[in-house]
């Protein structure tokens, strides 16, 4: 009789454990799903960073792998910028950003920033608990809205948006978290242009990220992005306003795209 009771107790404990384990699993149905034809694991984009006619640096954006984070598959995105050897003596730059973007929902779970510019260095990391609406950093825990972005995931999210029905100056609204605050970020649509870069000539849509208050791109015209006018939405050119003139990133090479990139010529 005792053995029989013990058996029932063990079965009950096992059932409770399984229920608890099941409750801890990610509730996929609670998180959004977005169709993504723009990018995939293995994509790599390489850019020259030009100031006028001078190439001052090289930038690389890539998705080397899919990793498991918070019980979900996430694109591990790396963005690196480095000055070329001829500029290192003047102002050496070795910046690296990383973000982990949910494969199904195109929102970030984790963001890292590692800045090395001249004698200046800075490191920052944030974990986004998208289920509980919290961002966690070394400084504390902060409330975040659903599907908040970081500055890198925002670009990838912009690549999956539908621009087909937009008029010039229409905009998408999103929100970014950085340091300890949430910033409003609008993606302003400026129409279409044909752009020639070292990797080819492409029909593009032109967009501008505009932060309404604080953040990186506070003023209109601070940064303009040309993305291919196709399903891939490859950013082929980025123009950033600086104190004197502009710095431009131009696509020089690419591999592992989600589809064929068609150059006009």
Q: Are 99 and 150 in contact (CB under 8 A)?
A: yes
Number of helical (H) and strand (E) elements in the chain, helices listed first = 3, 14
CATH classification of the domain holding 209: 2.40.360
Q: What tens digit of pLDDT does each residue of 163-205 get? A: 999 999 999 999 999 999 999 999 999 999 999 999 999 999 9
For residue 89, give its domain range.
Answer: 26-255
Q: Would residue 17 count as lying in a domain? A: no
State whether residue 81 is helix, strand or coil.
strand
pLDDT at 221: 57
Residue among 218, 211, 215 nearest 241 (CA) = 218
| Tens place of pLDDT per residue across the chain (265 aa) | 444 444 444 443 333 333 333 333 444 458 999 999 999 999 999 999 999 889 999 999 999 999 999 999 999 999 999 999 999 999 999 999 999 999 999 999 999 999 999 999 999 999 999 999 999 999 999 999 999 999 999 999 999 999 999 999 999 999 999 999 999 999 999 999 999 999 999 999 999 998 654 444 445 558 899 999 999 999 999 999 887 888 999 999 999 999 999 998 7
The tally of domains found in the chain comes to 1
Q: Would residue 260 count as lying in a domain? A: no
Rounded Cα distance between 180 and 141, Å, is 8
**Integer angstrom CA distances of residue 177 from 77, 102, 145, 148, 191:** 17, 16, 9, 7, 28
Q: Would residue 18 count as lying in a domain? A: no
């Amino acid at each position: 009789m005792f053995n029989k009771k013990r058996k029932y107790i063990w079965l009950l404990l096992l059932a409770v454990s399984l229920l608890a384990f099941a409750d801890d699993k990610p509730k996929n149905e609670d998180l959004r799903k977005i169709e993504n034809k723009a990018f995939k694991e293995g994509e790599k984009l390489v850019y020259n960073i030009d100031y006028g006619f001078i190439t001052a640096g090289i930038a690389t954006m890539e998705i080397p792998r899919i990793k498991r984070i918070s019980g979900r598959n996430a694109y591990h995105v790396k963005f690196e910028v480095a000055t070329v050897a001829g500029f290192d003596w003047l102002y050496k730059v070795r910046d690296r950003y990383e973000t982990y973007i949910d494969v199904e929902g195109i929102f970030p779970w984790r963001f890292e920033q590692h800045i090395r510019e001249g004698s200046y260095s800075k490191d920052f990391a944030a974990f986004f608990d998208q289920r509980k609406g919290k961002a966690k950093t070394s400084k504390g825990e902060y409330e975040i809205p659903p599907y908040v972005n970081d500055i890198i995931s925002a670009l990838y999210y912009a690549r999956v948006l539908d621009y087909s029905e937009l008029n010039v100056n229409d905009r998408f609204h999103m929100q970014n978290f950085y340091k300890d605050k949430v910033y409003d970020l609008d993606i302003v649509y400026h129409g279409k242009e044909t752009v020639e870069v070292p990797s080819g000539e492409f029909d593009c849509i032109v967009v501008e990220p505009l932060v309404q208050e604080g953040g990186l791109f506070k003023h209109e015209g601070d940064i303009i992005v040309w993305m291919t006018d196709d399903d891939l939405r490859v950013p082929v050119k980025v123009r950033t306003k600086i104190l004197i003139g502009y710095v431009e990133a131009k696509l020089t090479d690419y591999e592992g795209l989600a589809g064929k990139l068609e150059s006009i010529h």
